[in-house]
Homo-oligomer: A and B are copies of this chain.
């Protein structure tokens, strides 16, 4: 498996000191790298549009064929962006037959907001 997805490994258990404004040591290099991975995944306009489309979908999921059109990108490029979002722990991929359906990982965006408030 090699590398775990950043959002699953980030503060899985809530830090008990979260509500105590004690002097926090600055982010370690490793923590910073982990958290930067999530923001890197969000740091592309086309990936933000992908998320926006997936989130807006009634069914909560979209297949790749529904995503290539609106983005004006080639199919390989869309697949590439989706992979990055999955590896960041933001999207979930489920293959059913020939189609691959992508959906928001529940709470993933809230977790990102948590990174921000926890600095």
Q: Which residues on the B side are within 8 Å of A8 (C-beta)?
A: none
CB atoms of B56 and A32 under 8 A apart: no
The reply to whether the CB of A1 lies closer than 8 angstroms to some CB of chain B is no
CB atoms of A27 and B42 under 8 A apart: no
Main SS at interface, chain A: helix
The reply to whether the CB of A29 lies closer than 8 angstroms to some CB of chain B is yes
Q: Which residue of B lies closest to A28 (CB)?
A: B49
CB atoms of B119 and A51 under 8 A apart: yes
The reply to whether the CB of A70 lies closer than 8 angstroms to some CB of chain B is yes
28 CB < 8 A contacts A-B = A23-B56, A26-B49, A26-B52, A26-B70, A27-B48, A27-B49, A27-B52, A29-B45, A29-B49, A32-B45, A32-B46, A32-B52, A33-B45, A35-B45, A35-B48, A36-B42, A36-B47, A43-B43, A48-B119, A51-B119, A52-B119, A55-B119, A56-B119, A109-B119, A110-B116, A112-B116, A113-B116, A113-B117
Q: What would 7 more interface pairs be, CB under 8 Å, given A32-B46, A110-B116, A113-B116? A: A24-B56, A32-B48, A36-B45, A39-B42, A39-B43, A42-B43, A48-B119
